[in-house]
Amino acid sequence: MQLNRSISSRPTRNVRIGSVEIGGTQPIAVQSMCATRTTDIELTLRQIRLLESAGADVIRIAIDSKKDVEALKQIRKETEANLVVDLQENYRLAEQLAPYVQKIRYNPGHLHHHQRNVPVADKVKFLVDTAAANDCAIRIGVNFGSLDPDKREEAADPLETALLSAHEHCELVEKLGFQRYVVSLKSSNPLSVVQIYKRFAEERPEIPLHLGVTEAGMLPDGEIKSRIAFEQLLAIGIGDTVRVSLTLPDDEKDKEVLIGRKIIEDVKAGRFRSVPEFLDRGLNVISCPSCSRVENGAFVKLAQEVKRVTEQYQDKKLTIAVMGCRVNGPGETDEADIGLWCGPNFVNLKLGPEKVGAFPYDEVIPRMLEEVERIVADR
Ligand code: SF4
């Protein structure tokens, strides 16, 4: 189901991910991610099928524990989908799960947490050896919200930090003779996404790129943000695979794939939308697309509610970030004026990097609105 590429393409090298090949003149692949708990095998399989029926070429699932690995083994028996696993801190799980997936995604910023005494280069070697032994591709997934802490000290700003980190990991992987990898450099700001992918593509034109605007949020803004970035990049041949990240209820997750395909088709047909310039001006509500790590099923409703109650502040320059879990929530909300990240029973409320407190789900919205009012009045 990959879309033929008639838009200009760059001579990136080809990378096979199971039955799909990306890079060079290959069609642009569309990816998505399951938002279900991986241990809920039935629900996860249902979501995999939903995404497949929408035309997903590669489907990501999150694995954080041995229980998730056991679930993955069962899921693998029931589906032929090209699966990519999203590794978090526990990189050693890669060895157990690699026989069941076609690609391993790791985030350089997350390799510092477990086994701090083991050099990052050794951890990368472990991942590369595991991928090579199991016929897997790799994605080096750099994310502005969880950047490598060492690199932060070396670089002037998040964009430079992300670039440094990506270059370092490309070198680490290639020194080991491994070339079957792709890179992503995601930010929640589409303008930063355009800027960094252009820079990286210029510096490493041969490396295939996975495009994405992280935490793009709800519709319609989430689609608009992805479109702003993808249109500008795909039109100049940058991008070999894409994922549109949207905050959606489980049974609507296929929209990520359908919208991704639509954007590619539009660019191919020369249909460009004029995009609103709201990005650095008015209210910007960002929210993660949720995944199996989400700590409370009320997350999607909470994100929708935040958007609804803040509509009256459309013209105020204010960023509110809503995240589903403790894995990425604390870091990814640091840059927002107001951050909310979900725990099992409480929602943590932040002002930039400072924690305000933890509030029950039914109390956090009025508390957040107090902060919104205060910020708006101060400005
Ligand atoms: S913030 Fe947590 S729940 Fe949301 S997508 Fe990221 S890992 Fe998943």
Q: CB of 329 closer than 6 A to ligand 1? A: yes
User: Are residues 299 and 206 part of one domain?
Assistant: no
Q: Is residue 349 part of a domain?
A: yes
Pair (204, 345) in one structural domain: no
CA-nearest residue, atom 6 of ligand 1:
328
Residues 122-140 pLDDT 10s: 999 999 999 999 999 999 9
Please work out whether the CB of residue 88 comes within 6 Å of at least one atom of ligand 1. no
Q: How far is the CA of 257 from the centre of ligand 1 (A)?
A: 18
Nearest atom, ligand 1, residue 292 CA: 8
- 182 and 330 fall within a common domain: no
Under a CB-based contact definition with an 8 Å cutoff, are residues 376 and 311 in contact? no
Which stretches of the chain score pLDDT less than 70? Answer: 1-9, 274-280
The helix/strand/coil state of 99 is helix
Last residue of a domain, one of 268, 293, 312: 268
Which atom of ligand 1 is nearest the CA belonging to 245?
A: 5
CATH number at residue 339: 3.30.413.10
Same domain? 247 vs 334:
no
Domain CATH number, residue 231: 3.20.20.20
Distance 25 CA to ligand 1 centre (A): 33
What's the token pair of residue 269?
């047909």
Can you list the pairs that 305-311 forms with residues at least 24 positions away whose Cβ atoms lie under 8 Å?
305/365, 306/340, 306/365, 306/368, 307/217, 307/218, 309/365, 309/369, 310/283, 310/285, 310/369, 310/372
Q: Tell me the three state secondary structure of residue 362.
A: coil
Our count of domains for the chain comes to: 2
Of 61, 328, 332, 348, best ligand 1 pocket probe by most atoms within 8 Å of the beta carbon: 328
Q: Whose CA is nearest to atom 5 of ligand 1?
A: 290
Both 291 and 335 in one domain: the answer is: yes
What's the pLDDT score for residue 35? 94
* 295 and 175 within one domain: no
Handedness of CA 37, 42, 47, 51 (dihedral sign): positive
- The CB of 214 under 6 Å from ligand 1? The reply is no
Residue 260 CB less than 6 A away from ligand 1: no
Length of the chain: 379
Answer with the one of 245, 268, 291 that is the final residue of a domain: 268
Taking alpha carbons only, the member of 135, 230, 140 closest to residue 182 is: 140
Specify whether 256 is located in the same domain as 356: no
Helix (H) or strand (E) holding 62: strand 58-63
Q: Is the distance from the beta carbon of residue 173 to the nearest atom of ligand 1 less than 6 Å?
A: no
CA-to-CA distance for 224 and 229, rounded, in angstroms? 9
Residue 144 Cα, ligand 1 centroid: separation in angstroms?
Answer: 14
**Phi-psi map region of 227: left, alpha, beta (phi>0 left; psi -120 to 50 alpha):** alpha
Task: Residue 193: give the domain boundaries.
Answer: 15-268
Q: Is the CB of 323 under 6 A from ligand 1?
A: yes
Does 298 fall in a domain? yes
290 lines ligand 1 (CB under 6 A): yes
**Single residue among 236, 268, 300 that ends a domain in this structure:** 268
Q: Would you say the CB of residue 339 lies under 6 angstroms from ligand 1?
A: no
Q: Is 325 in the pocket of ligand 1 (CB under 6 A)?
A: yes
- Between CA 43 and CA 53, with CA 49 as vertex, the angle to 5 degrees is 145
Contact 148, 106 (CB under 8 A): no
Instruction: Give domain status of residue 257, yes or no.
Output: yes
The two three-digit tokens of residue 326, written as one number: 């403790």
Note whether residue 278 is domain-resident.
no
- Residue 63 within a domain: yes
Residue with tokens 């409480």: 346
User: Is 8 a member of any domain?
Assistant: no
Q: Return the DSSP state at 63.
A: E
CA-289 nearest atom, ligand 1: 5
The reported pLDDT for the residue numbered 147 is 87
- Co-location of 144 and 235 in the same domain: yes
Ligand 1 atom at minimal distance to the Cα of residue 325? 2
Which residues on neighbouring strands pair with residue 233, listed in sequence order? none
* Distance from the alpha carbon of residue 14 to the mean position of ligand 1, in angstroms: 29
Does the residue 329 lie in any domain? yes
Q: Compute, in angstroms, the gap from residue 50 CA to the centroid of ligand 1.
A: 20
Q: Is the residue at 306 inside a domain?
A: yes
Ligand 1: atom nearest CA of 291 is 8
Residues 310 and 180 in one domain: no
253 in the same domain as 190: yes
Residue 251 per-residue DSSP state: G
CA gap 104, 136 in Å, rounded: 7
**323 and 245, same domain (yes or no):** no
Return the pLDDT at 3. 52
Q: 264 and 288 in one domain?
A: no
